[in-house]
A and B are shown apart, each in its own frame.
Chain A
Amino acid sequence: MKVTVVSRSGREVIKGGIELHDEATVSDLQEAIHARTKKYYPSRQRLTLPMQAGIQGKPIVLSPKKKLVDYCDGNVKNLTVVFKDLGVQVLYRTLFFWEYLGPLVIYPIFYYFPVYKYFGYEGERVVYPVQTYAMYYWCLHYSKRIMETFFVHRFSHATSPLSNVFRNCAYYWTFGAYIAYYVNHPMYTPVNDLQMKIGFGFGLICQVSNFYCHILLRNLRNPNGNGGYQIPHGFLFNIVTCANYTTEIYQWLGFNIATQTIAGYVFLVVAALIMTNWALAKHRRLKKLFDGKEGRPRYPRRWVILPPFI
């Protein structure tokens, strides 16, 4: 079959189109485009079916594993696809590694090294037990994240735009330094012992739960699968759609109860807002996909992310 590749403005991206055998997959097409253009490796390509004039809605994105014929609407000899360049891509693994490495390295610097001298605080500082535990807790958290990035998570789309590296690193590294500055400060005021224990205890339970949630999510996805959606189930997923985000938010709450800094709470609120946005989108997507029609199961009534609020 002949595939015509056009840009969103209608210009032909590959002059003369591409000839492929009839059983070819989208992935084969992507390889062929890469061969013809050199610059556009497959993960940088976003291929969609052309929008019909007058019909609203989002364009249909071509899925790499599917066959091209599945997207033909009758004419199996010709197909037109719309090409969009997603820009330079990095692996999600790479992105996550760098954004998590920052906090893991930066926080202990404030704990171990005499940085406060440069802020005008001379002399030895007294280190409270809570500050030591906080450093261990923090480093455990980000080590866990890095470990999960390489051994647990299964990514539906393997890459992310390069610009996200700068944006995400700025977010994590700045907040990491901001919180580390206050918790390790020479004039830090600790909370009472019981509050500290409750905070870290609750936080650790949530971190373990969060890890279990990630394992469950991983097992939902088939390793050589089509990356399709499943209704999450098991453990907390039976009551809340994004239980992984829930446990993450509560885990930070535990840290803040134990360390009590405004900086930590600001981070908690911002992170919770970001995750709530993601959770709402995911919940909506799942409800739309699992609508109970045509034999599909119906998505059950569940909290989105933070019972009892939302």
Chain B
Amino acid sequence: MAGFLSTLRRIYLSLYNWTVFVGWFQVLYFAVKALREGGPTTVYDSVERPLQLAQTAAVMEILHGLVGLVRSPVSATLPQIGSRLFLTWGVLWSFPETRTHVLVSSLVISWSITEIIRYSFFGMKEALGFAPSWLLWLRYSTFLILYPTGITSEVGLIYIALPYIKASEKYCIRMPNKWNFSFDYFYASIVALAIYVPGSPHMYQYMLGQRKKALSKSKTA
């Protein structure tokens, strides 16, 4: 019974990782194609569907961590997925004025390269039981460049969106109401920006530590 369940888990996770891999591969492919054909302003429209699907599917990973299907701590995945969903739905989809900005190109390219490497890494481990050492190296090295480019793109796009957020009053809840609650999306976005200040160095440090552990372990293995 235990063996059957663990095989089921492997099949499920292999399917999951490779499916999302294909999604991100499409994002990168359409992004590069759009850049060459129409330029940076056309990138968003080309990648919108695969981007939304692949990024939203990542919510499953929170579930996987909660039920114990994977070992990753929920505390590490939650802020990462939170910021991704905020950008994908809360900024780009909600405020079309931001879609033609050049930072959209750097954003989707940074994200898609990172995720292609990550999902193929996990996809291989689940399906084949191992991942080649070059893929391991890529997974724990590309972040050195892609974290700064991705984070800069995220912060930049949120900042660009601020005037549109303020003017539109979208997602705002005003008082009076019977639950005595209010929500201001503009100020919430500013808080989100502020979180990047301690959050980014923290994530980068965490990855540096993971890199050290992973790459030294493979040397001795």
Interface residues of A (CB under 8 A from B): 182-183, 185, 187-189, 259-263
Query: Quick check: A189 and B181 within 8 Å, CB to CB?
Result: no
Q: Report the minimum CB–CB distance from A265 to chain B (whole Å).
A: 9
Nearest CB in chain A to that of B178: its residue: A189
Measured between beta carbons, the chain B residues less than 8 angstroms from A259 are: 180
User: In this complex, what residue of B is CB-closest to A189?
Assistant: B176
Chain B residue nearest in CB terms to A121 = B175
Confirm or deny: B177 has a beta carbon within 8 angstroms of a beta carbon on chain A. yes
Q: Is the CB of A262 within 8 A of B179?
A: yes
Q: Is the CB of A262 within 8 A of B181?
A: yes
Nearest CB on A from B190, distance (A):
15
- Inter-chain contacts of B178 with A (CB < 8 A): 189, 260
Q: Which residue of B lies closest to A259 (CB)?
A: B180
**Contact: A182 with B176, CB < 8 Å?**
no
User: Which residue of chain A has the shortest Cβ distance to B181 in the bound complex?
Assistant: A262
Chain B interface residue number, banded = under 10
Residue ID in chain B nearest A265 by CB atoms: B179
CB pair B181 A263 closer than 8 Å: yes
Q: Is the CB of A260 within 8 A of B175?
A: no
Chain B, residue nearest A186 (CB): B175
Interface contact A187-B175, CB-CB below 8 Å:
yes
Nearest-Cβ distance from residue A114 to partner chain B, whole angstroms: 17
Interface majority SS (helix, strand, loop, mixed), chain B: loop
Partner of B179 from A185, A187, A261 at Cβ < 8 Å: A261
Instruction: Tell me, rounded to whole Å, the shortest Cβ–Cβ distance linking A110 to chain B.
Output: 13
What is the CA–CA distance of A148 and B182 in the complex, to the nearest angstrom? Answer: 35
What residues of A have a CB within 8 angstroms of the CB of B180 in the complex?
182-183, 185, 188-189, 259-263
The interface bits of chain B over 165-185 (1 if a CB of A lies within 8 angstroms of the residue's CB, else 0) are 000000000011111111000
Within 8 A of A (CB), among B142-186: 175-182
Q: Contact at B176–A187, with CB atoms within 8 Å?
A: yes
A60 to B217, CA, bound (A): 32
Enumerate B175-202 residues with CB–CB distance to A below 8 Å: 175-182
Q: A185 to chain B: which residues have CB within 8 Å?
A: 175, 180
Residues of A within 8 A of B177 (CB): 189
A295–chain B nearest beta-carbon distance, Å: 39
Determine the chain A residues whose CB is within 8 A of the CB of B182 once the complex forms. 182
How far apart are B173's CB and chain A's nearest CB, in angstroms? 9
Given contacts A188-B180, A189-B175, 15 further A-B contacts (CB under 8 A): A182-B181, A185-B175, A185-B180, A187-B175, A187-B176, A189-B176, A189-B177, A260-B178, A260-B180, A261-B181, A262-B179, A262-B180, A262-B181, A263-B180, A263-B181
- The distance from the CB of A284 to the nearest CB of chain B, in whole angstroms, is 20
Residue contact B176 to A188, C-beta cutoff 8 Å: yes
Q: Which residue of B lies closest to A261 (CB)?
A: B180
Q: Which residues of B contact A187 (CB under 8 A)?
A: 175-176
Q: Shortest CB–CB separation between residue A158 and chain B, in angstroms?
A: 31
Question: CA separation between A310 and B178, bound complex, in Å?
Answer: 31
How many whole Å from B182's CB to the nearest CB in chain A? 8
Q: List 25 A-B contacts (CB under 8 A).
A: A182-B180, A182-B182, A183-B180, A185-B175, A185-B180, A187-B175, A187-B176, A188-B175, A188-B176, A188-B180, A189-B175, A189-B176, A189-B177, A189-B178, A189-B180, A259-B180, A260-B178, A260-B179, A260-B180, A261-B179, A261-B181, A262-B179, A262-B181, A263-B180, A263-B181
CB distance from B221 to the nearest CB of A (A): 24
B176, B177, B178, B180: residue with the most chain A Cβ atoms closer than 10 Å = B180
Contacts of B176 in A (CB 8 A): 187-189
Bound CA span A263–B180, Å = 8
- Least CB distance, B155 to chain A, in whole angstroms: 24
List residues of chain B with CB within 8 A of the CB of A260: 178-180
CB distance from B177 to the nearest CB of A (A): 7
- Whole-angstrom CA separation of A189 from B180 in the bound complex: 6
Give the docked Cα–Cα distance between A52 and B176 (Å). Answer: 64
Query: In the complex, A260 Cα to B176 Cα: how many Å?
Result: 13
3 A-B pairs with the lowest CB-CB distances in the bound complex, closest first: A262-B181, A187-B175, A261-B180
CA distance A260 to B178 in the complex (A): 8
The CA-CA distance from A188 to B177 in the complex, in Å, is: 8
A259 to B178, CA, bound (A): 10
Give Cα A260 to B175, complex, Å. 13
CB distance from A178 to the nearest CB of B (A): 11
Contact with A along B93-126 (1 / 0, CB 8 A): 0000000000000000000000000000000000
In the assembled complex, the CB of A126 is this many whole angstroms from the nearest CB of chain B, namely 12
**Distance, CA A260 to CA B177, complexed state (A):** 11
User: Which partner residue on chain B sits nearest A183 by CB separation?
Assistant: B180
Min distance, Cβ A257 to any Cβ of chain B, angstroms? 13
How far is B177's CA from A189's CA once the two chains are assembled, in angstroms?
A: 7
A262→B178 CA distance, assembly (Å): 10
